[in-house]
Amino acid sequence: MDTASKPSPYRWRTAVRQRLPWFLINLGITDKGTDYETVGGTHSWYNMDGESSGCYHCKVIRAGRLWESADA
């Protein structure tokens, strides 16, 4: 995971989420933010279904294979 130039609550949430049990995540304790770019961050994309890209840190979903271009 790449680092941001300034701390972000969205990246903090992602780090905490990796260490919590699933039942707490399912309760919404570490719910994703709305849009990571609004706090000055850069999306980190993952493959949702082979055609759509989702951001690890927020609820943004975009068409296309953006996770591939992020690796290049």
Domain boundaries, given as residue ranges, for the chain: 9-71
Tens of pLDDT, residue by residue over 19-56, are: 888 888 788 777 788 888 888 888 889 999 999 999 98
Q: Across the beta sheet with 52-55, what order do the strands follow?
A: 45-47, 52-55, 61-63
Q: What is the pLDDT of residue 61?
A: 94
Q: What is the pLDDT of residue 23?
A: 85
Q: Which has more confidence, 51 or 70? A: 51
Residue 1 has pLDDT above 60, yes or no: no
Q: Which has more confidence, 70 or 65? A: 65
Are residues 27 and 51 in contact, defined by beta-carbon separation less than 8 angstroms? no
Three-state secondary structure string covering 15-30 = HHHCCCCHHHHHCCCC
* pTM higher than the cut 0.75: no
CA distance 33 to 50: 23
